[in-house]
Structure 1
Amino acid sequence: MARFFKTVTCMFLVLAAVVFAEDYDVGDDTEWARPSDPKFYDTWAAGKTFRVGDELEFDFTAGRHDVAIVTKDAYENCVKEKPLSAMMTPPVKIVLNTTGPQYYICTFGDHCRFGQKLSINVVGAGGATTPAAGGTTPTTPGAGTTTTTTPKAGSAASTLGGASILVAFVSAFVALF
């Protein structure tokens, strides 16, 4: 009976970890492209709750678009020079591991000025906002790889995400019995 309980508990925890993380295809069917409506990506993001552990996937045509992680000022003014990170090869997958605001733009032509930019706010895995000092610190990705934004020192965010930590903790606890 104890073995059955352990198995059911572990299955439940694994399922819970999968349920907590969301994968977002940025722009849905429109993908990451210069929109006809300058507020398209604002509208797309409205009503969504982005959490630590979620993943953004930017699909776009190589050579016509890119994804640059930028500061708030660069986002607001569409400053393309010196982004924090830039990815040119689709699909670009970004795992959200830092709470607080995150900013993305396309640096091709006037795409940003015409609305190809995305601003989101990432909350902790439990839903509480814990802004990270200084914004994101992205890793430098290779072509077509996943980028992770890493938590700042003292941040409650984890590179594993809150659900994964919970699964690891409870799994270790269950293994003791």
Structure 2
Amino acid sequence: MAQGRGSAMSLVALVFVMICLLEVSTAATTYTVGDSRGWTFNMVSWPAGKRFRAGDVLVFQYDNSAHNVVAVNAAGYKSCLVPRGSRTYRSGSDRITLRRGANFFLCSIPGHCQSGMKVQVNAA
């Protein structure tokens, strides 16, 4: 009977470890857009080499008297025009959770998007 108990305890321990690993692998990652530079010009290449997942959080740090962040669609991103109904963030420290697929952001201050103050992040 003692051998059966040991087997059951081993199984419980194994299940516990697997649950812990699953939780670690699904934890969201927080990224500061632009890293130490923050949300600024020439952001188009910032995502290169990073692996994003749905649920990860982007933090946009910027001077809110000079910039903003607007979540746009692909057409808005490409044209640097803000589609009707787009969400605009203005806090200077915005936290945006990524959804699966392509996520597009830009600064809507005239000329800023055209100067590269935009970013596309693809989340698996």
Q: Which TM-score band (shorter chain)?
A: 0.7 to 0.9
Which protein is bigger by CA-based radius of gyration? 2
Q: Partner of 2:121 in structure 1?
A: 120
| Number of residue pairs matched by the alignment | 115
For residue 11 of structure 1, report the CA deviation from its aligned partner. 4.0
Q: Partner of 1:102 in structure 2?
A: 103
Higher relative contact order (CA 8 A, sep 6+): 2
1:73 paired with 2:56, answer no
Return the alpha-carbon distance in structure 2 between the equivalents of residues 30 and 80 of structure 1.
24
**Structure 1 contact 70–105 (Cα < 8 Å) conserved:** yes
**Structure 1 contact 68–83 (Cα < 8 Å) conserved:** no
- Which consecutive unaligned segments of at least 5 residues does structure 2 have? 1-5
Within the candidate set 35, 39, 43, 1:32 is matched to 39
Q: Partner of 1:43 in structure 2?
A: 45
Counterpart code for 2:13: F
Q: Partner of 2:29 in structure 1?
A: 22
Counterpart code for 2:33: V
Across the aligned residues of Structure 1 and Structure 2, the Cα RMSD in angstroms comes to 2.2
Counterpart code for 1:111: H
For residue 78 of structure 1, report the CA deviation from its aligned partner. 0.9
Identity percentage over the alignment? Answer: 27
SS in 2 for 1:113: helix
1:5 paired with 2:13, answer yes
Q: How do 1:80-95 and structure 2 match up within 5 A?
A: 80=82, 82=84, 84-95=86-97
For residue 15 of structure 1, report the CA deviation from its aligned partner. 3.2
SS in 1 for 2:88: strand
Return the alpha-carbon distance in structure 2 between the equivalents of residues 49 and 94 of structure 1.
16
The runs of at least 4 consecutive aligned structure 1 residues that moved more than 4 Å come to: none
Q: Deviations over 1:7-53 (max 9, x none)?
A: 952544443333xx2211100111012x2xxxx32221112221112
SS in 2 for 1:62: coil
Counterpart code for 1:62: N
TM-aligned CA distance change 1:49 to 1:64, over 3 Å = same
